[in-house]
């Protein structure tokens, strides 16, 4: 009998958690120990202290709880029949597929990655919007995430456990199952999605950051949603903004220099019903 989980399955389960704290930690270190990012900050240190209801200790505890649940569900999904590393085992009962079995044409892998992005993105848009549309769901679950009105990097995954499972974890499971990704490709995908999620909440609009430049859905775009008047718009996360455009929940914005340093995001919300 082989090990309960293969090395690839361990990576897809644990690597996103490690990358989350390392990448968020880099932002926190640069902001706390240097001034190199200060001119790109969307919120001053004072605003983080006065606008955010959740303390940083609460955020750390909440994120760790969500990640523990995420790991448990990831293991369960990987062990579904026909999925995980064991799915490619040959008829002789190998505990893991031979090396050649893991290889597939690059175009196939890229297609799976693209399908995963589309499923992941669509699931999160509609679940996120549902959380805002049903008063009970917002009040009981999603309002936790909005206790951080001035977002920072490691608050990206902060929220109520139910919200976290329905929005974050289940979207990942759907993306994995729909795309047919191998655990190796899934590891790359979820690391990518994790870094993108941290970036969307980092509160630092650095123009030379490739994520900020390549995606319209970036930290400034998501900052609009966290503003008091933006709770009914800019639901899209984490990759595209197509659903906001198609369904009338897109709010454009501009970034202006803030008196005293940094930047401020000014949203233009035309449809007052979105507020």
Measured between alpha carbons, how far is residue 259 from residues 27, 226, 241, 251, 272 in Å? 23, 21, 30, 24, 28
Enter the tokens of residue 92: 């002789």
Model pTM?
Answer: 0.88
Q: Are residues 209 and 202 in contact, defined by beta-carbon separation less than 8 angstroms?
A: no
The Cα–Cα gap between 261 and 256 comes to 10
User: Digits of tens for pLDDT over the chain (275 positions)?
Assistant: 457 778 888 999 999 999 999 999 999 999 999 999 999 999 988 888 899 999 999 999 999 999 999 999 999 998 887 665 545 443 334 344 444 445 789 999 999 999 999 999 999 999 999 999 999 999 999 999 999 999 999 999 999 999 999 999 999 999 999 999 999 999 999 999 999 999 999 999 998 889 888 899 999 999 999 998 888 899 998 999 999 999 999 999 999 999 888 999 999 876 544 44
Answer for the pair 268, 253: CB distance below 8 angstroms, yes or no.
yes
């Amino acid at each position: 009998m082989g090990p309960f989980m293969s090395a690839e399955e361990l990576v897809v389960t644990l690597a996103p958690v490690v990358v989350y704290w390392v990448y968020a930690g880099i932002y926190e270190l640069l902001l706390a120990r240097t001034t190199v990012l200060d001119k790109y900050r969307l919120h001053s240190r004072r605003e983080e202290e006065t606008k955010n209801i959740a303390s940083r200790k609460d955020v750390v505890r909440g994120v760790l709880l969500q990640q523990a649940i995420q790991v448990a569900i990831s293991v369960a999904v990987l062990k579904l029949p026909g999925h995980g590393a064991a799915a490619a085992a040959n008829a002789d009962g190998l505990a893991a597929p031979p090396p050649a079995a893991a290889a597939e044409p690059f175009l196939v892998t890229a297609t799976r990655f693209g399908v995963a992005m589309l499923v992941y993105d669509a699931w999160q848009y509609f679940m996120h919007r549902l959380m805002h549309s049903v008063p009970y769901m917002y009040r009981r679950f999603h309002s936790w995430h909005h206790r951080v009105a001035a977002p920072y990097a490691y608050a990206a995954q902060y929220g109520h456990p139910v919200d976290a499972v329905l929005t974050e974890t289940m979207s990942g499971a759907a993306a994995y199952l729909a795309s047919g990704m191998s655990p190796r490709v899934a590891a790359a995908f979820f690391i990518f999605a994790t870094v993108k999620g941290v970036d969307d909440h980092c509160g630092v609009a650095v123009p030379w950051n490739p994520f900020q430049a390549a995606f319209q859905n970036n930290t400034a775009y998501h900052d609009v949603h966290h503003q008091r008047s933006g709770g009914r718009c800019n639901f899209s996360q984490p990759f595209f903004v197509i659903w906001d455009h198609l369904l009338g929940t897109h709010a454009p914005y501009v970034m202006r220099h803030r008196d005293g340093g940094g930047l401020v995001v000014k949203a233009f919300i035309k449809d007052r019903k979105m507020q």
